[in-house]
Amino acid sequence: MPWTKVFLNNKELDNDGVNKGLRSISYKEALKEAHNLMMDKDERVFIMGEGVDDPGGVFGSTVGLCDKFGRDRVMDIPLAENGMTGVAIGAAIAGMKPIFVHMRMDFLPMCMDQIINHAAKWYYMSGGRVNVNIVIRSIIGRGWGSAAQHSQAIHGLFVHIPGLKVVMPATPYDAKGLLISALEDGNPVMFVEHRWLYDSIGYVPNDIYTVPIGKGVVRRQGKDVTVVAISHMIYEAMLAAKELQNEGVDVEIIDPRSIKPLDEGLIFESIRKTGRLVIADVGGKMVGVGAEIASRVYEDMYGFLKGPVRRIGLPDVPTPCSSVLEKAYYPDYKDIVNSIKTLLS
């Protein structure tokens, strides 16, 4: 399938002879296209967020949209995250389909009350009478000393909350397809992006299509070990697999794409084959997504495991500024390689 392919760089894409002629675009372009198509199709869709109409256009993902749709539908807002989230939820209650955008995931803590106490529970509290069809986009930052308040990956917090869905697309194809699905879902969907994915490229169809929320995908077939990698860690996992291939280790890589609901069936199936699991997340290990996946695997797949489940993620430390500390802070493909080697030894 061309759509599920991951390309580490432009060269890999150029060398992909089989699919010549298919259109390839970047992650940010795919996002923009999804907004564009859905706003064309459905008048209820609108974007709100700080700076969504500015020349940079949320790192390129909303660029030019306000010229086309006007500032009523591509709405810059006051810096009042919690209140504005409530406004978006209210609009959704009244039948609109807002996309609320945060340039950094770190601004979500400002909106916790409206997201957790309101959006997530409205449907349940109303006995299933009132749903909240809202998409909340946020971008995980990284590097250049972004430090403790501009590079948090706190998707795990939202996974903990019943009533929310959480998706983390890693490729341009999934970014577009999942955004469209999220808009049609009817539930509050936390749509979590990663700044380092914005220039990644891949094949993307021109038209509207959906990627089902809750369905993962096998990025690479292998028989020796399963790596479940999330968001940007997919690319690190691909690098690790390449390196290990030379040493005769065959890595299977699974991208859950959506971490709530989680496609545990796909993960379990892979473990039946490999008996080994490494989970690589862009967030913290402590009570993180890796911990959740690992415990589900222990509960249901214990008999198939040939060794302990291993997790890769951020240490339980805020993000430092200094480049030398940043380097020590973020795991990369080498950590995945080492983890797999330990598991195999």
Partner 1 sequence: MKILENLFHIIYYGKSCDLNSENMEIEEIMKADKAIILELLRKMLLIRRFEEKIIDVYSVQDMKTPVHLYIGQEAIACGVCVHLKNDDYVFSTHRSHGHCLAKGTPPSILYAEFYGRKSGCAKGKGGSMHLVDTERGIWGTTAIVGGGIPLGIGTALASKMKRDNKVTVVFFGDGAADEGTLQESLNFVSLKKLPVIFVCENNFYATNSHLRARRATDDIIRQAQACSINSLQVNGNNVMDVYNAAKNAVDMARDSGEASFIECKTYRWMEHVGPNYDYIKGCRPQSELDEWIKNCPIEHHKDFTKSMGIITEDDFVDMINIIDAEIETAIAFAKESAFPDTKELFEDVLFNNI
From the centroid of its chain, how far is CA 267? 17
261 token code pair: 């609901």
Q: For residue 228, is it left (φ>0), alpha (ψ between -120 and 50) or beta?
A: beta
User: How many whole angstroms separate alpha carbon 253 and alpha carbon 58?
Assistant: 30
Q: Shortest Cβ distance from residue 97 to partner 1 (Å)?
A: 22
Given the complex with ligand TPP, which of 3 and 100 has the nearer CB atom? 100
Q: Shortest Cβ distance from residue 79 to ligand TPP (Å)?
A: 5
User: How many whole angstroms separate alpha carbon 61 and alpha carbon 32?
Assistant: 5
- Report the partner that residue 78 touches, choosing among partner 1, ligand TPP, none (CB closer than 5 to 8 A by kind): partner 1
- Report the partner that residue 146 touches, choosing among partner 1, ligand TPP, none (CB closer than 5 to 8 A by kind): partner 1
Q: Shortest Cβ distance from residue 104 to ligand TPP (Å)?
A: 7
Given the complex with ligand TPP, which of 79 and 94 has the nearer CB atom? 79
60 token code pair: 């390129």
Given the complex with ligand TPP, which of 74 and 240 has the nearer CB atom? 74
Catalytic residue (choose from 35, 118, 150, 194): 150
Which residues in this chain contact partner 1 in the complex, by CB under 8 A?
50-51, 53-56, 76-80, 82-83, 106-107, 110, 144-150, 315-318, 320-325, 327-329
- Report the partner that residue 80 touches, choosing among ligand TPP, partner 1, none (CB closer than 5 to 8 A by kind): partner 1
Catalytic residue (choose from 50, 81, 193, 252): 81
Task: Using CB positions, name the residue nearest to ligand TPP.
Answer: 107
User: How many whole angstroms separate alpha carbon 77 and alpha carbon 311?
Assistant: 39
Classify burial at 139, counting beta carbons within 10 Å of its beta carbon; exposed 0-12, middle 13-18, buried 19 or more.
Answer: buried
Q: Shortest Cβ distance from residue 96 to partner 1 (Å)?
A: 20
- DSSP H or E run through 136: strand 135-140
Which residues in this chain contact ligand TPP in the complex, by CB under 6 A?
50, 79, 81, 107, 110
- Report the partner that residue 2 touches, choosing among ligand TPP, partner 1, none (CB closer than 5 to 8 A by kind): none
Given the complex with partner 1, which of 125 and 286 has the nearer CB atom? 286
User: How many whole angstroms separate alpha carbon 88 and alpha carbon 22?
Assistant: 37
- Catalytic (active site) residue 81: yes
* Cα–Cα–Cα angle for 48, 198, 282, rounded to 5 degrees: 95
* DSSP string for residues in 73-112: TEE---S-HHHHHHHHHHHHHTT-EEEEEESSGGGGGGGH
- Report the partner that residue 264 touches, choosing among partner 1, ligand TPP, none (CB closer than 5 to 8 A by kind): none
Across the beta sheet with 217-220, the strand order is: 217-220, 251-255, 225-229, 277-284, 310-314
Given the complex with partner 1, which of 47 and 340 has the nearer CB atom? 47
Q: Shortest Cβ distance from residue 330 to ligand TPP (Å)?
A: 21
**Catalytic residues, which ones?**
81, 150
